Chains A and B, each alone.
Chain A
Amino acid sequence: MANDLFKMPETAVSTDEFIKGLWRENPVFVQVLGMCPVLAVTNSGINAIAMGLATTFVLVMSNILVSSLRKVIPKQVRIATYILIIATFVTVVEYLIQAISLDLHKALGAFISLIVVNCVILGRAEAFASKNTLANSFLDGLGMGLGFTFALLCLGVVREILGSGTIFGIGLFPDGFQSWVVMILPGGGFFTMGAWLLFFNWLKERNKKREAALSESGTGVK
């Protein structure tokens, strides 16, 4: 799986750049990157979506800019330039969120600013956008961002349902439901993330076994 990160860049626009971030190279579940916001802001579905979209915005914009400047930026100062670009878009997104909803800004708190040090973004700028065409970089950013949002949502929904008995603020259970407060506390974040990773490990293992069984039967025919 990790080898995909270093594969040779392609010049043609391909939808695969978009799809890989969603599932096969999902930044959270497969690459285990950018864990801090994943755990910190996923105590409700709304927060998770907002954080995911903010990250996607920064990811797409910085990928676009880095890709279009990739022939101009000298190698020696590239990281500094990337950080500058990312910090700019994070500042922009922070003011936008504040303008949209102060409550949301309060709920996400410092984690909006901390998008700047999310390894996913710098990672994509360095590993992908600096070597690929504008269109592909855009798709890559969008795919990775949505993959990230998807992962946040997986955690946020589980934690909100169990921890507050609601989904996106709408009550799910009758009054008697005793919510598992622990799920919206920090500990619950670790537990839920661990459980999801476990689930994905199990999926991977199962797929591997199936493929092994398939190839075995394949060679048998040959």
Chain B
Amino acid sequence: MGNESLSFIFLNAALINNFVLAYFLGICPFLGVSGKLETATRMGGAVTFVMLISSTCAYGIHQLLVAVDAPFLQLISYIVVIASTVQLVEMFIKKFSPSLFRALGIFLPLITTNCAILGLALFQTNKGYNFAQSLVYALGAGIGFTLALVLMAGLREELELAEVPNLVKGTALTLMLAGILSLTFMGFAGLGG
């Protein structure tokens, strides 16, 4: 494996196998912060950013683990290194770019242990992607995540105005919407073939 074209990897991660709607990764932020369009966009930006960082980290760790032949340390080192790198980057941004920090900052600690982030690291290792492929995969996954979040937020903002029975309000309704969105995204399958 590992011989797929970059454009296909991107499409695959962003649309065909959308992380939220096909792989069910990152459902918590998807349900939690998809209430407002603006927050959703910023959350998406932060997730894409963290995904790029963690993808780079995971690639490095994987090379190291292969070199020392210790596959059993994969999970534990991924989570520890990704979590600490994100913390470092957060401090770095806080110091050098307050405006960027204001835009992404509050979300960074929230998403360190988001399953989409760890899932991305594990998938790219499983698929045997090289460095460029991993980065494109991370970018695609991040953009796909943002897309799902923004679409959802748009729908939910409209629904605020609708008359909904009390019983259905909240998570149940959001899940139903997500189901319909997920079915819609199935239409993208076969795009790469």
Which residues of A pack against B, CB within 8 Å? 32-33, 35-37, 39-40, 80, 83-84, 87-88, 90-91, 94-95, 110, 113-114, 116-119, 122, 182, 185-191, 193-195, 197-198, 201-202, 205
CB atoms of A87 and B122 under 8 A apart: no
* Number of A-B residue pairs at CB separation under 8 A: 108
Instruction: Tell me whether A193 and B83 are in contact (CB under 8 A).
Output: no
Q: Is the CB of B179 within 8 A of A187?
A: yes
Which residues of chain A are near B126, meaning CB under 8 Å?
110
| Residues of B contacting A87 in the complex (Cβ-Cβ under 8 angstroms) | 75-76, 79-80
Query: Inside 8 A of A198's CB, which chain B residues have their CB?
Result: 167-168, 172
List, sorted by A's number, 10 A–B pairs whose CB atoms are closer than 8 Å: A35-B31, A40-B25, A87-B76, A91-B75, A117-B113, A182-B183, A186-B24, A186-B186, A193-B175, A201-B168
Known A83-B80, A190-B175: A35·B28 in contact at CB below 8 Å: yes
**B interface residues with partner A (beta carbon < 8 Å):** 21-28, 31, 72, 75-76, 79-80, 83, 113-115, 118-119, 122-123, 126, 167-168, 171-176, 178-180, 182-183, 186
Q: When the two chains form the complex, which single residue of A36, A37, A40, A191 contacts B175, counting CB atoms closer than 8 Å?
A: A191
A35 x B186 contact (CB < 8 A): no
Which interface residue of A83, A94, A110, A201 has the most chain B CB atoms within 10 A? Answer: A110
Residues from chain B with a CB closer than 8 A to the CB of A114 are 25, 115, 118-119, 122
Q: Shortest Cβ distance from B91 into chain A, in angstroms? A: 16
In angstroms, how far is the closest chain A Cβ from the Cβ of B146? 18
Q: How far is the CA of A195 from the CA of B28 in the complex (A)?
A: 18
> Which chain A residue has the least Cβ–Cβ distance from B112?
A117
Closest to A90 in B: B75
Q: Are A40 and B118 in contact (CB under 8 A)?
A: no
* Residue ID in chain A nearest B22 by CB atoms: A186
The 7 tightest CB contacts between A and B, nearest first, are A190-B179, A194-B175, A40-B24, A187-B182, A187-B183, A35-B27, A197-B172
Q: Measured between C-beta atoms, what is the minimum distance from A124 to chain B in Å? A: 15
A188 vs B170: C-alpha distance in the bound complex, in angstroms? 19
Which residues from chain B contact A185 at a C-beta distance below 8 Å? 182-183, 186
A83-B80, A90-B75, A187-B186 given. 11 additional CB < 8 A pairs?
Answer: A33-B28, A36-B26, A40-B25, A91-B75, A114-B122, A116-B75, A186-B21, A186-B22, A190-B178, A194-B172, A197-B171
**Known contacts A94-B75, A116-B75, A190-B175, A36 near B115 by CB under 8 Å:** yes
**Residue in contact with A113 in the complex, picked from B27, B75, B171, B176, CB distance below 8 Å:** B75
Inter-chain contact A36/B28, CB cutoff 8 Å: yes
**In the bound complex, do residue B182 and residue A186 qualify as a contact, i.e. CB atoms below 8 Å apart?**
yes
B145 CB, nearest partner CB in chain A, Å: 13
